[in-house]
Chain A
Amino acid sequence: MSLIETHELRRVYDLDSGRVVALDHASLSVEKGDFVAVMGPSGSGKSTFMNLIGCLDKPTSGHYRLAGTAVESLDANGLARLRNREIGFVFQQFNLLPRIDALGNVELPMVYAGVDKKTRRERALHALGRVGLAERAHHRPMQLSGGQQQRVAIARALVNSPSLLLADEPTGALDSRTAIEILALFQELNREGVTIVLVTHDADVGRHARRLIRFKDGKILEDHRQTPLDARELLVAETAA
């Protein structure tokens, strides 16, 4: 059984200007442990696809199973629970809560999972350790650099041990070197077994995935495996130069 299975997934928006088919009969599956880049220009349907895969939205028609659960049959509470357990989100704008420190931000998904305070603290510290920020646990987002903030967001995404890490333009707000560092972290996590779906419009970013899916006009245009560019090597090369 694949982690993600979509069948004829379709999403239609009824706007004032008429009906817009944002996603048209998308069928694909993603295996556990894969690293998939979803690419395409704006309006290609990649964001709609991500919202559906991320259980933030429901398809107009078609079927979607995530880790064996039929998503289209769930209500708002069921979707919330599925997001909480199975998906970790990483956003372009980090979306950290400014009032609470890194540790508190990482704890947030566990708060809604009903994990007790002590366990939360331990797991959040461990997750921060995984992204190399254990010493910054009590810094507030404002006191961290962009790259560090994104690492906190990644730790937050990992903390409930979800089956899928869903990243939406995770390097879009970072400078190129920091972007490569974040990609290196993704590759490292992927090697440890985390399934990653990364949505981007940037071809350089997409080259770091093992599989590339390209959308155009709401349809899957291209879907192939590739030899990923190793971000660690890029960093070493850059430091040497």
Chain B
Amino acid sequence: MRFVEAIRSALSAIAANALRSLLTMLGIVIGVAAVIAMVAIGSGARNLVDQQIRSLGANLAIVTPGNVTQGGARLGAGASSTLTDEDADAIRREIDGVTAAAPFVQGTVQVIAGGNNWGTRIYAIDLDWFAAREWDVATGRTFDPEEVRRGDIVVILGQTVAKNLFGEEDPIDQVVRVRNVPFRVIGVMAAKGQSAFGQDQDDVIFVPLDAGRRRVIGRNYAKDRSVGSIFVKFANEEDIEPGIENMTTLLRQRHRVIGDQEDDFSIRNLTEIANTASASANTLSMLLAAVAAVSLLVGGIGIMNIMLVSVTERTREIGLRLAVGARPRDILSQFLIEATTLSTIGGALGVALGAGAAYLVARIAGWPSLVSPNAVIIAVGFSALVGIFFGFYPAQRAAKLDPIEALRRE
């Protein structure tokens, strides 16, 4: 019998017992729907994490000021700025695999342009910032080395700030006032979107390190060369761990921290944090896939059961088919195709249901979800395999029937 006809005949057999077929498929439907939904949600979550890693910049560590003990009182982390841009220079110079060491100081300021004003964060940075954060301007230009060296009063706006202060107008070469200092706008950063913590990363302005330290932020940075934190970017992920050890040694030396004294700084591997999140997302998907595999197995057993019932019910039909010239393997393939059609339809329904569920979760929980074509192909293929595997035994039983016995059966 030709394949297309065999499928059509299988479909009519399935349709003849529509309710029973549907109930039989349910196991597969639920299994596949679970796989599709979970993989979609899981890969959506992983995508989110990946996106956050990318928006942070890959292979990144951050050096922040640590505890300081002053006269027996231990002050909390960040209470004192112990880092300087010379530390950044030393890191850039002496640590292997470092491609950028970006010292910066941050604060909160009110920015005024004409009649508009806007509260935002200010980052005083040097040129390495752009490399470390993998972030560039969309229009205008970044600082030139001379501007950074001299601490010129020029500013680069984040997208959100530019929009709030200038609307549709081009902000380049306009002047904004920050703490009464007139900064000339030289560029607008590319949009970056939300951070991992839901912060608008475009609500920010950038000024040269010295301009910020001397004229705007002041505070603890009176001691001229001190900085808030340092972003350190490595060329490769493998460089990060040894790099952090070497930096610790280097900074202890530079800060004259000796013996078992506590570090007056701390270094965190941001990529590792992101990777951990990504790994837990992975673990979650694996777990869900295992649950789904079990339910596919149960679905497969359901199909085997109903196919055995079907073979028994249709013994006379099998006998007749054998009498009019069906070979045993024609009978085998007929029932195999029927089981496979049943499970594949179940798989397709499952894909639809799973995709729908994933979409719903995405809408309601605000999670991103991603129905990948791969997952769909694997799920449908896998349910077809389930049909073949669990359909084989009943089909073989049908094919082995003796035509005389089969015809005599009531």
Which B-chain residue is minimally distant from A88 (CB atoms)? B324
Interface residues, chain B, with chain A CB atoms under 8 Å away: 1, 5, 12-13, 16, 316-317, 319-330, 403-404, 407
Cβ-defined contact, A83 with B325, below 8 A: yes
In the bound complex, what is the Cα–Cα distance between A108 and B319 (angstroms)? 13
- Asked whether A80 and B325 contact (CB < 8 A) given A51-B404, A112-B1, the answer is yes
In the bound complex, what is the Cα–Cα distance between A51 and B322 (angstroms)? 13
Interface-facing stretch out of A65-73, A89-97, A179-187, A205-213? A89-97
Shortest beta-carbon distance from A98 to chain B in Å: 8
Shortest beta-carbon distance from A182 to chain B in Å: 19
Cβ-defined contact, A112 with B330, below 8 A: yes
List the A side residues contacting B12 at CB < 8 Å.
99-100
Q: Is A45 an interface residue (CB 8 A)?
A: no
Shortest beta-carbon distance from A186 to chain B in Å: 19
Interface residues, chain A, with chain B CB atoms under 8 Å away: 51, 54, 56-57, 76-77, 80-81, 83-85, 89, 91, 93, 95, 97, 99-100, 108-109, 111-113, 117, 156, 160
- Asked whether A56 and B404 contact (CB < 8 A) given A99-B12, A99-B16, A112-B330, the answer is yes
List the B side residues contacting A113 at CB < 8 Å.
325
Cβ-defined contact, A76 with B327, below 8 A: yes
Which A-chain residue is minimally distant from B322 (CB atoms)? A80
Which A-chain residue is minimally distant from B16 (CB atoms)? A99
Cβ-defined contact, B404 with A109, below 8 A: no
Shortest beta-carbon distance from A29 to chain B in Å: 23
List the A side residues contacting B317 at CB < 8 Å.
97
List the B side residues contacting A97 at CB < 8 Å.
317, 320
Cβ-defined contact, A57 with B404, below 8 A: yes
Cβ-defined contact, A81 with B325, below 8 A: yes
Query: Among the listed A76, A77, A80, A95, which residue makes an inter-chain contact with B407, where contact means beta carbons less than 8 Å apart?
Result: A95
In the bound complex, what is the Cα–Cα distance between A98 and B167 (angstroms)? 75
Which A-chain residue is minimally distant from B328 (CB atoms)? A76
List the A side residues contacting B1 at CB < 8 Å.
111-112
List the A side residues contacting B325 at CB < 8 Å.
80-81, 83-85, 109, 112-113, 160
Cβ-defined contact, A80 with B327, below 8 A: yes
Interface contacts beyond A89-B324, A108-B321: sample of 16 additional A-B pairs, CB < 8 Å, sorted by A: A56-B322, A76-B327, A76-B328, A80-B322, A80-B326, A81-B325, A83-B323, A84-B324, A95-B316, A95-B320, A111-B5, A112-B321, A112-B325, A112-B327, A113-B325, A117-B5
- Asked whether A56 and B324 contact (CB < 8 A) given A97-B317, A100-B12, A112-B330, the answer is no
